[in-house]
Amino acid sequence: MKYFRTSFKGFLPVILMVLVASLTASCQSAVTVEPASHLKTASWSAFGREISLAYDTSLASGVETRLISEVPISDQVMYAESHPAYAQFHFTGYQDGRSYQLPLLPVENNIAQVMIFRIADFPGYGNNVLEGFPNQLQTLKAMLESGVNPTVCAQPLQGDSGLPFLPWVNSQQSLCSQPQIIDFHGGKGIRYLTYNSQDPSPVLDQRIFYTFQGLTEDGQFYVSVVFPVETGIFPTEPPPCPKCGQPDYNPFPEWQALLQEQLVRLNAQPAEQFNPSLGVLDELIQTIEIKD
């Protein structure tokens, strides 16, 4: 039997040409696949405008939109329940339906939401009171022009020293934290963390919330955003208070001292340590757009 020795010298150039042609074809046909966006868009038409935003899908299972009818001031409703009409983006299943408490009225309005008000509707809603719609609008305008005083949120708030907030509520801001001016499409505003109360009750974590108060550049719309956040700093249940039954006991000094300590931690906490992250909520704000 004869064995044949085959030489590849003659075939080597051909093989190399085939390989080069194959690699070139592969490079030309390759398609860069972008990662899927983690944002979901919600849009709706209201007040003759197209309103849209995009949110991280980890925040909520969905968004419901509707126009909330005006509730005029009258002796039949609490002043905090009266308001102009507004477009509402309600975030359903927010954080898998966890429990939280917000100061908004009526009680069924205690939901994570974005509210779009028409500024032309503000007159008549508390013209002569500081917390009224016209005055809060002017306070926000002035703050956006001058910037946020960093010392405002360095200590517990007293009286009417809080940051702008609408709609009006039946309580006062007891603290503000991490204020920052944020731009959105065609406007800007201030975001901050806050807590409202009527008395020196212990601050509970489920009552801390993120809010954004902003204006469109054309001066026609006011944007109010409310999202509960978990801080991990405040308790979720009221701590024991052995002295609270004593008739001469004044809880305010102790309450203020504890709140000051908690506020220092709150102001120093990195954005990503909140739940949800403040960065996720800021990102949502930046996507808000109100256009013709």
69-100 confidence digits (pLDDT tens): 999 999 999 888 999 999 999 999 999 988 89
Question: Which of 3-12, 102-111, 213-222 bottoms out in mean pLDDT, i.e. has the lowest?
Answer: 3-12
What number is the average pLDDT over the span 142-163?
Answer: 90
Q: Does residue 154 or residue 14 have the better pLDDT?
A: 154
Q: Beta strands 289-291 and 221-228: pairing type?
A: unpaired
In angstroms, rounded to a whole number, what is the distance separating the alpha carbons of residues 283 and 132?
A: 29
Within-domain flag for 285 = yes
In angstroms, rounded to a whole number, what is the distance separating the alpha carbons of residues 104 and 99?
A: 15
Total domains present in the chain: 1
Query: pTM of the predicted model, to two decimals?
Result: 0.86
Average pLDDT, the chain: 88
Q: Are 289 and 52 in contact (CB under 8 A)?
A: yes
Give residue 242's pLDDT.
82
In angstroms, rounded to a whole number, what is the distance separating the alpha carbons of residues 197 and 179?
A: 19
List, edge to edge, every strand of the sheet that includes 49-56: 39-46, 49-56, 289-291
Give residue 143's pLDDT.
96
94-141, pLDDT tens digit by residue? 999 888 999 998 989 999 999 999 999 999 999 999 999 999 999 999
Within-domain flag for 30 = no
Give residue 199's pLDDT.
86
In angstroms, rounded to a whole number, what is the distance separating the alpha carbons of residues 89 and 111?
A: 10
What number is the average pLDDT over the span 241-267?
Answer: 90
pLDDT at 31 over 70: no
pLDDT at 20 over 90: no
Alpha-helix runs per DSSP H in 98-236: 133-146
Within-domain flag for 11 = no
Q: Are 112 and 136 in contact (CB under 8 A)?
A: no
Within-domain flag for 129 = yes
Q: Domain limits at 55?
A: 39-291
